[in-house]
Amino acid sequence: MAAKPFILWFDEITYDDVPLVGGKNASLGEMYSKLTSKGVNVPYGFAVTAEAYRYFIHENHLDDQIKAALKGLDTHDVHDLQKRGKKVRNLILHAKMPPKLAEEILKAYERINEKYRKKDLDVAVRSSATAEDLPDASFAGQQETYLNVRGAENVVHHVQRCFASLFTDRAISYRQDKGFDHFSVYLSVAVQKMIRSDRASSGVIFTLDTESGFRDVVYITGSWGLGEYVVQGKVNPDEFYVFKPTLKEGFRPILSKKLGSKDIKLVYGRSSKQPLRELKTTKAERASFVLSDDEILKLAQWAMIIEDHYGRPMDIEWAKDGDGREVGTGELFIVQARPETVHAIKEQKFYEIYKLKGEGKVLCTGKAVGSKIGQGKARVILDVTGISEFKAGEVLITTMTDPDWEPIMKKASAIVTDKGGRTCHAAIVSRELGIPCIVGTEVATKIAKTGQDVTVDCTQGEEGRLLEGLIPFDVERIDLENIPATKTKVMMNVGIPEQAFAQGQIPNDGVGLARLEFIIGSHIGIHPMALLQFDQLKEKATGDKKIAKLVKIIEEKTYGYDNKADFFVDKLAQGVATIGASFYPKDVIVRLSDFKSNEYANLIGGFLYEPEEHNPMIGWRGASRYYDPKFEPAFALECKALAKVRNEMGLTNVKVMIPFCRTPEEGKRVLQVMEKYGLKRGENGLEVYVMCEIPSNVILAEKFAEIFDGFSIGSNDLTQLTLGLDRDSELVAHLYDERDEAVKRMIRQVIETAKKMGRKIGICGQAPSDFPDFAEFLVECGIDSMSLTPDTIVKTRLLVAEKEKALKGGESKDKKC
């Protein structure tokens, strides 16, 4: 039998070599040998194999000494773990590198120097254990990586340091807890050409959404400089989402682009004694994305190629070269890939919904990891030397974590950090442990006090909140395997893009109401006319302090946009696209903006463009705005955003709905304006619906049916206008009831008319979410669909299924309808 080699080159390695080179190194070799032909750039290198590690241990007679050092170890005794781990690492570090092995490493390094025509080539020296990054077992970064290593002797020295890192405290603890024998796990070391991302950017890619597990997106993070700071969580990186299904069809579906603070970066040092150093980023770097749109799409395409090759979700590291003298200015590279190990192994049989039953003082906020709630006494620890103070069930609050913190992370009820993004160490480990985490708060360690009762709330979407006190909460568990099919479509009301990936996994038939108001209010925040007339505002700013302040705010929010109106189009398109992608290919019916004048006035700059109305609820809102010369330019931005979603991103499942359309003639005028700005009914499958929320919509339903594809009953407005009351007035609140006979007659009538005219009809008001008997009434009337709040969709589907079953069994349809 041939002896196993000490060195394997990337073009010699396949994934079958995992026992010899470990998962990460096998992935590197496999990608180099098989995926470069598909356009994926991978820097060259070699692996010092696990056979070399075994030889090193054997030649230095370390087996028995290591076993003796670890005998009787209790990994929950942090002091004991630290003491024994240090002893084992010192045994390996002070051992002699066998001459035969050293010679092979030196020859390999000389060969890679020749390939790149360099002397003392800069390389990354990366560890890969044979039990690390398995599909069902992984903790991020158990072993060490060393960057910008130069010189033959230095490479040999760092290979030995990697050997020692097989026995870091966190690696010992992890193996013991997972039931791995310390001597059935071996170490391989990759020596790989460095990419000069210290002069450009780098980051991490996941081929799914790390929070919800949604499989149809590629999630990319990036920051300036070397990628270690993204992985470690020392920076808050830029974040990008790309939609896989339409990217494969040739579209450009960048669903989201979010700017990170990126306040520091890691770059090359000035000597071998200081190979790396930290710099502050410039203002221009902090205000700019690290990737262009073309680069985002290229990385997403590569990520899909890698995922398809391995047949599973992947966790990938990328780097952009900033040194044209060595590799090629601006080229992108994949420097590492491994299986994603949290969502890939989950069996989605249940969906859990956590809900707070009260509120507390918000101490600070950050980026939510997961969607759970955790609570306990806070334990603020600023340095890893203090981890022995931590007690099980406490909330760990620290600046950032690295693998040395893992022995206590597994005992925490929740984790909160000052620094980091959604792909940092704290986020990755929290997901694996299934505990809530908030990263990037910036101030948690300064505000929270050790011993203080706190609640970590990750149920609000993108934002996580650290709350004072122990706030009661409930957990609803939905069985996803026993959801019946129904003839009546059970759709969802959605308005917050950050929650859409998770909500799309609740059994549903699409989105019956996607609201634009949250996106405009939160993601944009500026009145569209202020963006369109920004140049005029700048001219007025010279002599007007109020306008000058307004101009400054708009400039800060829209940095990087020469045409400020493009900011509105891009942000609105990204928000709508995120919702559209979350439910693709099911219908997503987007209601065009329905702010009242007082609500528009609250946007930045809105006071300049909005009238003061005594009763804005029935004033200048909905359709009447869209064709008005005073607002049509703003409405054009909405149309352009939706056209971008459908035509550029390929999300043709997105449909359009007109709110508060008082007359059929008004409906025709709106359709003409929409067509003028790229949204033509019937073109590329575009359907246009109208809200049925005014008595005239019911009375003239036949006329409306001639110009629209369907109706969606807005029971909130229809109730107040049928009963002639203000739904916001406490004085008449006792009369407001969607189940009033007058309202039900209106609904029954419009359903019958829609059926007669061959038009679709659904409801998106609150009534069927709040009142089960009202949902039954709608089924009896033969409505096509109900759109409900996410928290009521499952129980309403069960109720609808029972009602349909009863009707099929002979119960009279005319009983209530």
Catalytic residues: 425, 764
Q: Which two tokens stand for residue 743?
A: 């309202």
Contact 380, 400 (CB under 8 A): no
Long-range residue pairs from 476-480, CB within 8 A, at least 24 positions apart, any chain: 476/352, 476/353, 476/355, 476/791, 477/350, 477/351, 477/352, 478/350, 478/351, 478/352, 478/353, 478/506, 478/794, 479/349, 479/350, 480/348, 480/349, 480/350, 480/351, 480/507
Query: Cβ neighbours of residue 576 under 8 Å, at least 6 residues apart?
Result: 497, 514, 516, 519, 590, 641, 642, 645, 654
- Residue ranges of alpha helices (H) inside 620-726 are 623-626, 632-643, 664-676, 695-699, 701-707, 715-723
What's the CA gap between 425 and 408, in Å, rounded?
Answer: 14
**How many C-beta atoms lie closer than 10 Å to residue 474's C-beta?**
10
Please give the DSSP secondary-structure letter assigned to residue 48: E
β-strand partners of 218: 242
Backbone phi, psi, residue 716, to 5°: -65, -55
What's the CA gap between 303 and 318, in Å, rounded?
Answer: 10
Give the SS3 label for residue 255: strand
Contact 243, 581 (CB under 8 A): yes
Q: Which two tokens stand for residue 554?
A: 């708009």
Q: Which two tokens stand for residue 154?
A: 């230095």
Query: Cβ neighbours of residue 519 under 8 Å, at least 6 residues apart?
Result: 495, 497, 571, 572, 575, 576
Select from 450, 448, 484, 481 the least CA-distant residue to 467: 448
Helix, strand counts (H, E) of the chain: 31, 30
What's the CA gap between 52 and 63, in Å, rounded?
Answer: 15
What's the CA gap between 308 and 302, in Å, rounded?
Answer: 10
The single-letter code of the amino acid at 427 is: A
Please give the DSSP secondary-structure letter assigned to residue 2: P
What's the CA gap between 160 and 56, in Å, rounded?
Answer: 9
Strand runs (DSSP E) across 391-457, as ranges?
395-398, 414-417, 437-439, 453-457
Strand runs (DSSP E) across 562-702, as ranges?
588-591, 654-658, 688-692
- HSE at residue 756, side-chain half, CA atoms within 13 A, is 10
Measured in whole angstroms, how far is the alpha carbon of residue 656 from the centre of its chain? Answer: 26
Select from 135, 199, 111 the least CA-distant residue to 341: 135
Q: Which helix (H) or strand (E) holds 384?
A: none
The CA distances from residue 83 to 172, 267, 647, in Å, are 12, 33, 61
What's the CA gap between 484 and 783, in Å, rounded?
Answer: 18
Please give the DSSP secondary-structure letter assigned to residue 619: S
Backbone phi, psi, residue 483, to 5°: -100, 115
